[in-house]
Chain A
Amino acid sequence: DSGVTQTPKHLITATGQRVTLRCSPRSGDLSVYWYQQSLDQGLQFLIHYYNGEERAKGNILERFSAQQFPDLHSELNLSSLELGDSALYFCASSAGTGTGGYEQYFGPGTRLTVT
């Protein structure tokens, strides 16, 4: 158990819908990262938050957005869903500020299926 929790574990929804994935980091970790793992794109970095501040964006679609709340949990919002958005979405957290290559602890992931 990494100490990072993600809900829900599984999500099945239809094209065009909107979903919210939730992540609670390990106690004390201020950095939260979101990654997408799909069959054709592999593991891709989406976005990094540090203590509520957006630090970096990767290949995140405009239909996707995220935020980190004052209690440090984070949410990833996916809208106007397409079949190609079906993937495993990981949240990770670390004790780092974004500079030191700290270990990232991964949650169990949310499996999103768009039908």
Chain B
Amino acid sequence: AQTVTQSQPEMSVQEAETVTLSCTYDTSESNYYLFWYKQPPSRQMILVIRQEAYKQQNATENRFSVNFQKAAKSFSLKISDSQLGDTAMYFCAFTPRSYNTDKLIFGTGTRLQVFP
């Protein structure tokens, strides 16, 4: 079975500091995609960053970057210069590259609180 594990239910960070959220996954697939989604209090799901498993280079989007370790099946999210607006639930998600569906398999989420 394909699973995604987020072992940190809650985290907190001070404004302008850096925080790293952990994610591990389990799959026998060799080709797949990984995502981090953000869900602020408004409940809207927003894509933060996307990584293709066959690409060695870690994805980066402004203050957000990932540390993708394929052998360890680890996909952590680093948020630099944290801002109050980063307060949200963060979900790690996985989708195998298939010929039929790219459904998302989500982890249980990490609630991040950014303090002033």
A residues near B (Cβ < 8 Å) are 2, 31, 33, 35, 42-45, 48, 55-56, 58, 88, 90, 92, 94, 96, 98-106, 108-109
Q: Which residues of A contact B43 (CB under 8 A)?
A: 88, 108-109
Question: What CA separation (Å) do A99 and B97 show in the bound complex?
Answer: 6
Docked-complex contact B104 and A104, CB < 8 angstroms: yes
Choose one: B50, B52, B91, B100; the contact of A98 (CB below 8 Å): B100
Partner-binding segment picked from B64-72, B74-82, B105-113:
B105-113
Name the distance in Å between A31's Cβ and chain B's nearest Cβ: 8
Question: What CA separation (Å) do A101 and B106 show in the bound complex?
Answer: 14
Q: Which residues of B contact A96 (CB under 8 A)?
A: 102
B residues near A (Cβ < 8 Å) are 32-33, 43-47, 50, 52, 91, 95, 97-109
Choose one: B44, B102, B104, B107; the contact of A99 (CB below 8 Å): B102
Name the distance in Å between B103's Cβ and chain A's nearest Cβ: 4
Least CB separation from A56: chain B residue = B101
Question: What CA separation (Å) do A58 and B43 show in the bound complex?
Answer: 22
Q: Which residues of B contact A90 (CB under 8 A)?
A: 45
Docked-complex contact B108 and A94, CB < 8 angstroms: no
Contact flag A99-B98 (CB < 8 Å), given A58-B103, A108-B44:
yes
Name the distance in Å between A56's Cβ and chain B's nearest Cβ: 4
8 contacts between A and B (CB under 8 A): A2-B44, A42-B108, A43-B104, A56-B103, A90-B45, A101-B33, A101-B50, A101-B95
